[in-house]
Amino acid sequence: MLSNEVSEILNKQTAVEADASHAYLALASWCEERNLPGIAEYFYAAAEDERAHFLEMVKYINAHQAPAVIQAVSHPRSSFVNLLEVFQYVWDLEHNNTLNINNVADVCLKNKDFATYKFMEAFVMEQQNAEKSVEDLIHMIKTLGHDERSLYYINKNFQKLVAKAAAGGEAN
Ligand SMILES: [Fe+2]
C-alpha cells in the first residue's frame, strides 16, 4: 500500500503525463497544418509514449490500493512562430517533466518507499534520454535553418527517426 504522500505525488504525475500527451498531439496538428508529416509522426509517437506513461502510473497506483484519481487535461499550447520555437517549447516541456519525475523519486525516498522508487527509475532515465534527444534535434534545426528547402530535409530526417524508433524503441 502506498503512503498518502507517495500516492498524492504519483497521482499528480499522472496528470503531468496526460498533459504532455495532449501537448504532443497539438504539436502534431501544428505540423500537419504546415505539411510536415514526418515531424507530425514524431509527435504522434511522443503522444503515445506519454499516454503509455500515464497508463502505467494509473495502473501502478490502482495495483497498490491507492485509487488513481483521473484529472482533466490542460488546454495545450498550439501557437508557435516556427519549428525552432516548437522544439524549444518541447525542451521546456520535457525539462519540466524531468523536474516533476525527480520530485516523485525524491518523495519515494523520503517515505522509504523503495519499491515505488524502483518503479520510477525507468522514468528518471527516460527523461535524461528525452532531454538529450531534444537538444540534438534543436541543434539540427538551428544548423539547417527554417527555409522551405531546409524544412523539407528536416521533415525527411524525422521520417527516418520515427522509422528507427518504431524498429527499436521510443521516439522520445
Ligand atoms: Fe513521460
Count up the domains in the chain and report the number.
Answer: 1
CA–CA gap between residue 49 and residue 94 (Å, rounded): 12
Per-residue pLDDT, averaged over 101-106, amounts to 98
Q: DSSP readout, 12-74? A: HHHHHHHHHHHHHHHHHHHHHHTT-HHHHHHHHHHHHHHHHHHHHHHHHHHHTTS-----PPP
Residue partners of 172: CB distance under 8 A and separation at least 6: 24, 42, 45, 46, 49, 94, 130, 133, 134
pTM > 0.85:
yes
Ligand 1: distance of its center to the CA of 147 in Å? 32
CATH number, residue 117: 1.20.1260.10
Q: Is the pLDDT of residue 171 over 80?
A: no
Q: How confident is the model over 19-66, as pLDDT tens digits?
A: 999 999 999 999 999 999 999 999 999 999 999 999 999 999 999 988
Instruction: Give distance in angstroms: CA of 172 to centre of ligand 1.
Output: 9
Distance 148 CA to ligand 1 centre (A): 32
Question: What confidence tier does 138 reach under pLDDT thresholds 50, 70, 90?
Answer: very high
Q: What is the DSSP letter of 170?
A: -
97 CA to middle of ligand 1, Å?
7
What is the rounded end-to-end Cα distance, in angstroms, of the chain?
Answer: 31
Residues 6+ apart with CB under 8 A from 115: none
What distances in angstroms separate CA 102 from CA 9, 26, 81, 142, 163, one per listed residue? 11, 26, 31, 29, 30
Q: How far, in Å, is the centroid of ligand 1 from the Cα of 7?
A: 17
Identify the pLDDT of residue 168: 78
Alpha carbon of 133 to ligand 1 centroid (Å): 14
Residue ranges making up the domain that contains 89: 4-168
Which among 122, 126, 106, 113 has a CA at the least distance from the CA of 61? 113
DSSP state of 79: -
Please write the tens of the pLDDT for every residue from 7-32. 999 999 999 999 999 999 999 999 99
- The pLDDT score that the predictor gives to residue 170 is 53
